[in-house]
Chain A
Amino acid sequence: MSAPELQVQENLQRVGEVILSVQGVSLSFGGVKALQDVSFDVREREVRAIIGPNGAGKSSMLNVLNGVYHPQRGRIALREHVFSGMNPRRAAELGIARTFQNIALFRGMSVLDNLMTGRNLKMRASFLQHAIWLGAARREELEHRRAVEEIIEFLEIPHIRRTPVGKLPYGLQKRVELGRALAAEPSILLLDEPMAGMNLEEKQDMCRFILDVNDHFGTTLVLIEHDMGVVMDISDRVVVLDYGRKIADGTPAEVRANQAVIDAYLGVSH
């Protein structure tokens, strides 16, 4: 009966070492300076939020992490790898998965098939083997299907397993997108406004799933969010951006008390 005590210890040490660090990243599009000298780090198994008013550079930051944008200056260190520019495929191979602000699923495909696409990088058998449904490919597909079914159960969507994604309500599509990202078994999951456009109940559901993902799979989560209430409730640490600059970084309580953050959100008379 020593198991429970062990678990408590593990909980205390849930958040581990720095896994990802962003060092002095600057990104501009022509004359628009999207990010200016932004540095922060993400620790293993933590829920890290990036917040800021509209146009603060949140999505740009996520796109830099994910390798969609290449910063002009600065570097990103992921465990022992150091990059000045990442590309999305390499990011995925290194265990970074993401969801999108505007849902990017295959609308005509079923939930199950959409999640299976998330396993793409894990498929080892050759195209030919898959085409003729050879032993290895068959075994592999069964294994992937099992992994996907576990995610379906985890996200409580078995009732829509066979439903084309396009027919689903928005909140469920968001959940499916989370599922597809999870299917890649990422070590870091980037969520771009996971609660945007949701009603209160959908937001609560999504919060629960985010916390469950973090708890159950030990996934490190980096999320961008508009909804301050949500962020403050579920994040371990928060980075605040404004006009491309980092203006605050710390626990939700620290950030909430920060005068620069209050000014950025409520506006300040100049």
Chain B
Amino acid sequence: MAEHAPHSDARDTFPKLLMHHAQVRGERPAIREKDLGIWQTWTWKALADEVRALACGLAADGFKRGDHFAIVGANRPRIYAAMAAVQCLGGIPVPLYQDAPAAEMVFPLRNAEISHALAEDQEQVDKLLEILPQCPSLRHVYFDDPRGLRNYAQAALSSYDNLLERGRESLRRDPAFLETEIAKGRGSDTAGMFFTSGTTGVPKGVVHTYDSLIIPARTAAELERLGEGDVVLAYLPPAWIGQNIFSCAQAYVTGYCIGCPESADTVMNDMREIGPTYYFAPPRILENLLTTVSIRMEDASRAKRWLYRRFMAIAEHVGGAILDGKPVGLLDRALYALGDLIVYGPLRNVLGMSRVRIGYTAGEAIGPDLFRFYRSIGINLKQLYGSTETAVFVCVQPDGQVKADTAGPAVPGVELKFTAERELLVRSPGLFKEYYRNAEATLEAKDAEGWFHTGDAGYFDPDGHLKVIDRVKDVGKLADGTLFAPKYLENKLKFFPYVREAVCFGDGRDRVCAFINFDIEAVGSWAEKRNMPYSGYTDLASRDEVYELVRECIERVNADLAADPELANSQIHRFLILHKELDADDGELTRTRKVRRRFIAEKYGPLVEALYTGRDMAHVEAQVKYEDGRSGVYAADLKIRSAKTFPAAAAARAA
């Protein structure tokens, strides 16, 4: 099945690989796109032809080796053709997030002195034209979809079709030019630049060479035995390095086919039609998919619901083990096979995952139940760890060694170690070259020995799997010096559908305590089922029954923590349920819904003190901002309860 191209130096850049595929598998599909309701195929040969013409057109427009080229648009064959055309000329494609506001595009354009750009449609063209005065280097803006752009008279603007046309002509006149340009490329040349959002300060352009993209892409492809028969659905932003790895680097390395969805709204449907074999989704998307399924199941007939419940129980019991190739009893196997026929198979089909051989998830912590759900119905979902600076593949869970709470062992060729502060350091062939024109930040992130400081804190579990728990800057220590990773605890709590937000305290203290926000919808419907009348969040927050519910969640987390020697001391001793939902308008959450722990600790200082002084009641008086801009003061007495903690079994054994 998988055919591995020999690692010859001759094919060390994307353009060289592209021309190679056009030769050896010219008629096989390289990209499929759904256009006007029908899947259209670009073969490797067609793609290579388009790229050649496009490159000649760009050269005619004055695009030179070493120039940067901005690309703003969704996954479209033409976007990828443009990237390759730029690379043919020794240029550097800089994909930008298509949902970024115009102002955020100024920095990348100026930083890389971008002279040429491709915009997908009117929306993106408008943004680029808006910032044109601030970016004097930008001289050519090409657009793919001409809709709405007919009356634009800006001199910098021309259509992709026009560029292609002119390119074809100059290619006819001088066919040798491009071959020479492609041959000039080296593996050590810059292949692309990816801007990281930069939560603090200015964004940074992460520079990757062909080597740093191709080597990890090839290693991972060999690990997972990817070949030309594989299919990927490209549905995440091309500006994200992961999408670039999946739809460029690995496609070039293996010759597999990528599918471009018709629009962002049709992804689910398109996925069902294209049937990817290799799939990536962040936990958020997997959760949304599961929610869709659950809602549809609730609307199904009674018989179907019964079947679903019955067989999902079996799947939960043995599905994961079967996928891992572990021994499972004959009866269970037979039942699972039956379930596969009538429940799991159709379910995978609805999810568009019938053919998924390898599925990855990463980016944030995934709930163990969510993770196990996908594995139990026979989808080989695995976790990986990586970042823009490391070209994604740092850790991957190999088949048969999949766990819900780790990111797997290091990929071959990757070295990992931890600093005393538990910060993860990475050294690998996939490391970025530098931050563009930011030597200071480069030095800070990549030390003299070539170790990249990830900023993530974690440790290896007994099997040598990486476990990332939090950002280093958020990790603290309990009074006895053991590790305190608030986000890890909060995530564990939030995996329970009843818990919406949690804020854990413990840095420099003798034990961990927590504020809880329950999920009003989940707890609301729980209350309705038990005929518990309530008026709203605040009312429910004061009920003993709800405290009991939350306590059970916390105790389950505690039991889990007790089993982990590193975290056994982080068990949550006391908690309270906040009288209001944490809100970004009150400054308690960031706009992306991350808790601002320090701010909350200050604002609710008396409550934190009450948690630690052992009282079982606390008085709170807090400013509330209403949505119309007025503010008022809210006062309440909150109950504080204790949760059961467990002896640190594993820790005791280890000690």
Chain A residues within CB distance 8 Å of chain B: 1, 3-5, 7-8, 10-11, 145-146, 149-150, 152-154, 156, 158-159, 161, 212, 215-216
Contact = CB atoms under 8 A, between A and B. Distances in A.
B147 A158 contact: no
B32 to A, nearest CB: 15
Contacts of B158: 1, 4
A156 B37 contact: no
Contact of A152 (B37, B148, B157, B162): B37
A70 B296 CA distance: 51
B265 interface: yes
A176 to B, nearest CB: 15
A265 B162 CA distance: 50
Contacts of A7: 150-153
Contacts of B269: 159
B120 interface: no
Interface string B137-149: 0000000000110
Given A149-B36, A150-B36, A216 B147 contact: yes
Contacts of A152: 36-37
B203 to A, nearest CB: 29
A267 B262 CA distance: 51
Given A149-B36, A159-B269, A212 B263 contact: no
Interface centre among B36, B153, B154, B265 (most CB of A within 10 A): B36
A8 B153 CA distance: 6
B148 A153 contact: no
Interface residue range, chain B: 10 to 19
B147 A159 contact: no
Nearest to A161: B37
Given A7-B151, A145-B37, A159-B262, 16 more contacts: A4-B154, A4-B155, A5-B153, A7-B152, A7-B153, A8-B151, A8-B153, A10-B151, A11-B150, A150-B36, A152-B36, A156-B263, A159-B265, A161-B37, A216-B148, A216-B150
A156 B262 CA distance: 10
A11 B151 contact: yes
Interface in B11-44: 36-38
A149 B39 CA distance: 13
18 contacts: A4-B153, A4-B154, A5-B153, A7-B151, A8-B151, A8-B153, A10-B151, A145-B37, A146-B36, A149-B36, A149-B37, A149-B38, A150-B36, A152-B36, A156-B263, A159-B265, A161-B37, A215-B148
A237 B265 CA distance: 36
Contacts of B147: 154, 212, 216
Contact of A4 (B36, B157, B262, B263): B157
Contacts of A150: 36
Contacts of A8: 151, 153
B36 A215 contact: no
Contacts of A215: 148, 150-151
Contacts of B152: 4, 7
Nearest to A153: B36
Contacts of A146: 36
Contacts of B154: 4
Give the secondary structure class of B's interface.
loop
A40 B158 CA distance: 40
A158 B266 contact: yes
B150 A158 contact: no
Most-contacted residue by chain A among B151, B157, B158, B263 (CB, 10 A): B151
A5 B158 CA distance: 12
Contact of A3 (B37, B162, B266): B162
Contacts of B162: 3
Contacts of A5: 153
A161 B151 CA distance: 30
A156 B157 CA distance: 24
Nearest to B262: A158
Contact of B265 (A149, A158, A216): A158
Contacts of A153: 36
A149 B263 CA distance: 14
A247 B258 CA distance: 61
Nearest to B147: A216
Contacts of A3: 162
B37 A158 contact: yes
Nearest to A14: B151
A143 to B, nearest CB: 12
A67 B505 CA distance: 74
Contacts of A212: 147-148
Contacts of B148: 212, 215-216
Contacts of B150: 7, 10-11, 215-216
Nearest to A216: B147
Contacts of B37: 145, 149, 152, 158, 161
